[in-house]
Amino acid sequence: MKKAVEKRSSERGGAGVKLLMVLLVLVLIGNAGYQWIPVAYAGESLKQDMQTAVVQGLAAPGKTSPVDLVKKKIIMSVESNDVPGDVIIEVKASNNMIQAHVAYTKEVPLLPFGIYNYQYEFDHTATPSGFLTKQ
């Protein structure tokens, strides 16, 4: 019986290598999530802030310019959401509605050591919806 076990020496040690490979894959997936989740969260937060700013601009009272108010709120949101400096912000009023458009590209290092960098492209146009837009 011992001789049969001794003759299979090439089969020994396979579990350790497989465990190391699985752990490496899990670490790479964890790193990608660690890098991706804050960028995706900031993008969705900016979308929500844009939508809020457009609705608040449409409901702005008195002599304040709704376009300036919306642009100011979006710029504040851009600064707080860690958006790159080459962001494009366009706010325009048309037909008693305000539209805000924001676009930027951010590089996200999904794999360590610069092996793979993902280009996150944010391009969103916010228009008011709800009871304020009904005529």
pLDDT digits (tens, 9 = 90+) for 117-131: 999 999 999 998 766
Structure tokens at 4: 């049969």
Q: Where are the domains of the chain?
A: 12-126
- Strands of 97-111's sheet, edge to edge? 88-94, 97-111, 116-126
Kindly tell me the sign of the dihedral angle through the C-alpha atoms of 90, 94, 96, 97.
negative
Identify the CA nearest to 122 among candidates 75, 66, 84.
84
Find all residues with CB under 8 Å of 4, minimum gap 6, and list them.
Answer: none
What single letter denotes the amino acid at residue 114?
A: G
pLDDT digits (tens, 9 = 90+) for 18-64: 999 999 999 999 999 999 999 999 999 999 999 999 999 888 887 78
pTM: 0.82
